[in-house]
Amino acid sequence: MTSMNSLMKYLIVVKTGFFLSMFLLLTNFVQAQKTMPKPTGYLVNDFAGMLSRSEVEQLGAKLVAYARETSTQIVVVTETSLEGEDAFDYSYRLAKSWGIGGSKEKSNGVLLYITKEDRKVRIQTGYGAEGFLTDAMSRRIIEQMIVPAFKEGKYYAGIDAATTAIMDLGKGEYTNEGGGKRKSEGGKALLLIFLLLFGLIFFLAIYNRNRRRRNYEDDGGYHRGGRYDERNSGGGGWFFFPMGGWGGGGSGGSESSSDGWGGFSGGDFGDFGGGDFGGGGAGGDW
Amino acid sequence: MSRSLIVIAVVAGLALILLGKGCSSFNSFSLQEEDVENAWSKVQSAYQRRSDLIPNLVQTVKGYANFEQKTLTDVVDARAKATSMTIDPSNITPEQLKEFQAAQSGVSQTLGRLMMITENYPDLKANQQFLELQSQLEGTENRIKVERDRFNDTVTKFNKSIRTFPNNVFAGIFGFSQKAQFEAQAGSENAPKVNFE
């Protein structure tokens, strides 16, 4: 009898496992859209590795200074391939889901999206950036600055000129009242490590204490919300730990979530403001 | 005695719950309806933007000798037809939406033909003003696409919420009904494709 029971249990486990994997397979299959990288907190995200480290840093520094001053966020993203998706559709999704822009009300974000293998460039302008960066202007920037430079393989020159042009157009449109969102860049990585270590020790301490307590004390809903419970869900609690972005003081080697180890990210900025996009901008090929 | 008291209390409690639930769903329907209207106004302003571009475009193209007059008048006519349509945003019927969509896709088609013909005019394609209009047109088509999608999303959300169980009863009482959506990109293959080389 007991062996029957355990057999049944085993079968049930196998079955649910099977269905679960089928389900996962199916959902993966249905989702034909290219997966987007998560926001890295940087304004320059060279996932395709088109720029050198110092170029990324220079570009990032320029864009961060501009964003601090005007709140207008200009983001550069390079990727290897669109994986068959339309350049407009994908870059629109990316810009919107990252929420590029100083705030939702201003929606003053600009995304310069470059895909290396498809040789396509796309400028996406947020609702609030359409005023200074019109579609016609976006096209001119692409046609006159990016395409000629890219044709000669001068990626940095093209991106640098284009971002400067966008910055000039947007000057005076917005000002930043909120101040920078992050503190100085140098100490950030160290601080983060300290915080993480501290948090780890803290949680472990509480965890141990409560484990001893748990047997005789009903602690209601309190512990369910606690962070240490996430340890059970496959280490979900520290998923952010090995992700890119906290490495070398503002411009560390950042991992690209879609293309493997691509290039660098630079221009440490923090969070995007949740800007909204309406499809403005222009595109081009080189 | 005490039994009837309990019954009364239960009935009163149920009535209160119903009332509360009714109020909250009425409010949420109204708010969502507002969202739908807002999304619709954005759709319309995206189409309006395209309408506004057309006179300039026609004017620019006209200057080029022996440009096919018929194509130009087609565009102007289609635009006139589309702009003559007005839809009450608070009451969009499927028929109206269909008509609106047909009129707008008439504009898309004639514009598509116009842009195709311009390929044969190298002078025109070198004209800076024409190029700017062309890129504005492309951006506008993208905006239309975005706003249409958003409108559909908002309507789907609304329809879903008035369709699920307790809500559908209240929706019936308050007179909220399913709203019409754009059909999935019918005739989008005719939208002007703008190429730059």
Report the DSSP beta bridge partners of residue A46.
A78
Name the one residue in this structure whose structure tokens are 């403005």. A280
Q: Which string of DSSP letters, residue by residue, matches B98-164?
A: HHHHHHHHHHHHHHHHHHHHHTT-HHHHH-HHHHHHHHHHHHHHHHHHHHHHHHHHHHHHHHHHHHS
Note the pLDDT of residue B93. Answer: 85
Give mean pLDDT, residues A228-235. Answer: 37
Judged on CB neighbours under 10 Å (0-12, 13-18, 19+), A10 is: exposed
CB contact under 8 A, A284 and B196: yes
Contact A115, A137 (CB under 8 A): no
- What's the order of all strands across the beta sheet hosting A109-115? A265-268, A42-46, A73-79, A109-115, A120-126, A277-285
CB-hemisphere CA count at 13 Å for B50? Answer: 31
Using alpha carbons only, how large is chain B's radius of gyration in Å?
A: 25
Enter the tokens of residue B164: 């699920």
Closest chain B CA to residue A127: B143
A141 or A258, higher pLDDT: A141
Taking only the tens place, the pLDDT of each residue in A240-274 is 334 333 333 333 334 444 444 457 888 777 778 88
pLDDT of residue A216 exceeding 50, the answer is no
- Cβ contacts of residue B158 below 8 Å, gap of 6+? B29, B32, B33, B35, B36, B179
Residue B100 Cα, gap to closest chain A Cα (Å): 21
Give mean pLDDT, residues B83-99. Answer: 84
Enter the tokens of residue B56: 């300039």
Note the pLDDT of residue A150. Answer: 94
Taking only the tens place, the pLDDT of each residue in A23-61 is 554 444 444 678 888 888 889 999 999 999 999 999 999
Query: pTM for the full model?
Result: 0.69
Q: Which string of DSSP letters, residue by residue, matches A237-264?
A: GGTTTTSTTSSSTTS----BTTTBS---
Report the DSSP beta bridge partners of residue A111.
A75, A124
In which band, very low, low, confident or very high, does the pLDDT at A17 lie, cut at 50, 70 and 90?
low
Strand A277-285 versus strand A73-79 pairing type:
unpaired
**What does the alpha-carbon distance between residue A265 and residue B124 come to, in Å, rounded to a whole number?**
42
pLDDT of residue B12 exceeding 50, the answer is yes
Taking only the tens place, the pLDDT of each residue in B153-180 is 999 999 998 888 888 888 888 888 888 8
CB contact under 8 A, B135 and A285: no
Note the pLDDT of residue A41. Answer: 81
Give φ, ψ of A131 to 5 degrees: -65, -45
Closest chain B CA to residue A148: B197
Among A58, A99, A101, A94, residue whose Cα is nearest residue A264: A58
pLDDT of residue B110 exceeding 70, the answer is yes
Give mean pLDDT, residues A81-93. Answer: 91
CB contact under 8 A, A88 and B132: no
For chain A, give the mean pLDDT. Answer: 74
Among A51, A50, A95, A69, residue whose Cα is nearest residue A172: A69
Q: How far is CA B124 from CA B60, B130, B138, in A?
A: 9, 7, 17
Contact B17, B125 (CB under 8 A): no
- Chain B residue numbers touching A138 (CB-CB < 8 A): 135, 139
Strand A120-126 versus strand A73-79 pairing type:
unpaired
ipTM over 0.85: no
Contact B178, B97 (CB under 8 A): no
pLDDT of residue B152 exceeding 60, the answer is yes
* List of E strands, chain A: 42-46, 73-79, 109-115, 120-126, 265-268, 277-285
Taking only the tens place, the pLDDT of each residue in B116-147 is 888 888 888 888 888 889 889 989 999 999 99
CB contact under 8 A, A135 and B140: yes
CB contact under 8 A, B138 and A135: yes
Angle ∠(B83,B88,B89) on CA atoms, nearest 5:
105
Taking only the tens place, the pLDDT of each residue in B24-78 is 888 999 999 999 999 999 999 999 999 999 999 888 888 776 777 888 889 999 9
CB contact under 8 A, A280 and B143: yes
**What does the alpha-carbon distance between residue B140 and residue B146 come to, in Å, rounded to a whole number?**
10
Report the DSSP beta bridge partners of residue A281.
A124
Contact status of B139 with chain A (Cβ, < 8 Å): yes
